[in-house]
Structure 1
Amino acid sequence: MTDLAIKAEGLRRTYRSRSGWLKPSWRHTEAVRGISLEIERGELFGLLGPNGAGKTTTIKMLTTLLLPTAGSARVAGFDVVQDTREVRKRVGYVFGGDRGLYDRLSGLDNLRYFAELYAVPAREQRNRIAELLELVGLTGREKEKVEGYSRGMRQRLHLARGLLHRPEVLFLDEPSIGVDPVGARELRRTVADLASSGTTVLLTTHYMAEAEELCGRIAVIADGAIQQIGTAEELKHRTDGRRVLTAEVLGASEADLGRIRLLPSVHGVTVEDRGLSQIVTVQSDVGTDIEPQVREALAGIRIGRIDKREPSLEDAYIAIVTGVDRDAEERTVGPAGVPG
């Protein structure tokens, strides 16, 4: 038996959409562009990427919910196209959000219903459901209707549902989205316990701290392709030789930020809107004091606190993704702004 829980080679998925009625035209969008991936059994693997990068499409192909346009993939030793039934017996899929549960039923009745769908033997259902309720911290609340559950409780019930049939490989698609910090912490603890017990977990998330805490290896996906794979520390090495400056500013325009981007020692500038203020993050060469140049570029702009620090996983992620965005722009726009 192979030690790989997931093996994908050249995985692609193209969507075809139609526009117009009298003279219809077809548009092809390549959501996933040749993904190759190997995940070992028992590994907790992270998949990071911006919205629209292809994360969910990749998971849907690996869980047999979508057919690949090209390439191949094996999950738990079975081909996702030729051995669909065998793959589905061995995988669990948990997604973030409120969908997929029956609000008018209790948490217990939801699990009983899905146990039947997953063909869990009747003689095993009671003990299995009790185990899972204990695992996700819902013991004592299982007879309450789901419509009264908090977002975190719903997500933990989602997790219990995905584990009913004891999957070998568990896919978690942004499971902590919208969950409060306490609920997210409990969810992370449960996921870590699952991985330590031998379950292979593939996790997608937008939370860098979550990925760094849980995942042994992380892949960054952007523009439909995997850009880098490694541990959190290995990904941070992409920002070797750089320092990070963050400044709280009030009312900076694109022109102001453009002046910072043009500074010779600057590698990247990102902005986070905080309502009345903005947090400007600047990556620059190590050994260069960028603060005076930033203050000069923002002359006339109210500047609050300025901090300097070493690069984080989030900084590495931004460097990878923004680098892909620049490459994509260069591919699609030729000289003088003419589409390539």
Structure 2
Amino acid sequence: MLAIEADALRRTYTSRTGWPRSRRTETEAVRGVTFEVAPGELFGLLGPNGAGKTTTIKMLNTLLLPTSGTARVFGHDVARDPVAVRRRIGYVFGGDRGLYDRLSALDNLRYFAELYGVPARDQKRRIAELLDLVGLTGRERERVEGYSRGMRQRLHIARGLLHRPDVLFLDEPSIGVDPVAARDLRRTVADLAAAGTTVLLTTHYMAEADELCDRIAVIAGGRIRALGTPESLKSRVGDRDVLDIEAYGAGEEALDRVRRVPGVRGVSTEDRGAVQTVSVQTDRGAELHAPVLAALDGVRIGRVVSREPSLEDAYIAIVEEATASTEAPAPTEPPSSTEPPSSTEPSSSTEPDGVPA
């Protein structure tokens, strides 16, 4: 039996805008998502902001009803049998919500153990096991308000595991966590998967996904654009080389000039304070150092490094291809002599915040 089955999942949000004549608008956040997760698998769901990741997870863990399509967790339908699904899942989300700051970690876990229906005779042993698993033994009597971000995230994971779920949803658990704490979190997540817990992970950190995930699905615009192992996704850009250029003040005009260089397949930037890292994907063996640097004429350049493509490069290529495929020019019609031309607003795939379950 599969741990998770998503079949043609769709979710449409409806809202009304305007006054006094309100207009009904629909936003399709998830558009026919299909994938399967095997028991014990560590499955990654990657995508840009507004791609539909969190909406998909909320449908799988019964917080949102699908507009259409079906989803099952160990054979239980999320819409028809939500109670059975909730007994078998845990949900850990990034951020500071979900814990009581003025209580100790121990009191938080005791409280949530009662909510999860953990038998009283098992609570002491189970809490001790989890504190040891997440590395908080010895700090459990301290108030959570004094915890670091990384310690809070580890306590979130302990809370989500109290009732021994078969499936654990981790929604960006390492967001805002320092590198040392993030390393500890990755070790904890890897240990969970090794012990047989099925984990569905969303993250914006490609190195984290590459290190942890057995398989990865990339979602963009509400659709799955690629699915496979990290190595198979990286093979999609195996015919490319990457130039990492340290630049100071490379504007859009300069980046557009780079994009127009023959043989350049993609350009992305990452800001690190006053320094930018401009990553240029080129055809394998094209040797485009000189024309790319010439296109950046007028921009102060630091180090230039050539390297093999990474999972991040593959992810960027997949998302850019998805964006290009959805960008089509709007049809134009000659204006009528009696009626002004109507205007249409493009629909957005951004997920609204605070949608009630």
**Fold match by TM threshold 0.5:** yes
Aligned equivalent of 2:22, options 21, 24, 30:
24
Q: Name the aligned partner's letter for residue 261 of structure 1.
A: R
Q: Report how many aligned residue pairs link the two structures.
A: 336
* 1:209-224 to 2 correspondences below 5 Å: 209-224=207-222
1:64 alignment partner in structure 2: 62
* 1:17-166 to 2 correspondences below 5 Å: 17-166=15-164
1:61 counterpart SS class: helix
Query: What is the identity percentage for the equivalent residue pairs of Structure 1 and Structure 2?
Result: 68
Q: How far apart in 2 are the matches of 1:128 and 1:253?
A: 55
Gaps of 5+ in 2: 334-342, 347-357
1:194 alignment partner in structure 2: 192
How far is the alpha carbon of 1:335 from its aligned partner? 7.7
How far is the alpha carbon of 1:300 from its aligned partner? 2.2
Q: Name the aligned partner's letter for residue 74 of structure 1.
A: R
Q: How far apart in 2 are the matches of 1:134 and 1:15?
A: 42
1:11 counterpart SS class: strand
How far is the alpha carbon of 1:251 from its aligned partner? 2.0
How far is the alpha carbon of 1:326 from its aligned partner? 1.3
* 1:233-312 to 2 correspondences below 5 Å: 233-312=231-310
1:304 counterpart SS class: strand
1:134 counterpart SS class: helix
Q: TM-score, normalising length from structure 2? A: 0.91
Q: How far apart in 2 are the matches of 1:76 and 1:21?
A: 46
Aligned CA-pair RMSD: 1.5
Q: How far apart in 2 are the matches of 1:232 and 1:170?
A: 21
Q: Name the aligned partner's letter for residue 233 of structure 2.
A: L
How far is the alpha carbon of 1:275 from its aligned partner? 2.8
Q: How far apart in 2 are the matches of 1:274 and 1:156?
A: 27
How far is the alpha carbon of 1:249 from its aligned partner? 1.6
How far is the alpha carbon of 1:127 from its aligned partner? 0.7
1:33 counterpart SS class: strand
2:202 alignment partner in structure 1: 204
Gaps of 5+ in 1: none
1:157 counterpart SS class: helix
Q: TM-score, normalising length from structure 1? A: 0.96
1:5 alignment partner in structure 2: 3
Q: Residue by residue, what CA displacement relative to the aligned partner does 1:9-61 show, whole Å, maximum 9, x if unpaired?
A: 00000111111230111111111010001000010111111111111100000
Q: How far apart in 1 are the matches of 2:112 and 2:73?
A: 22
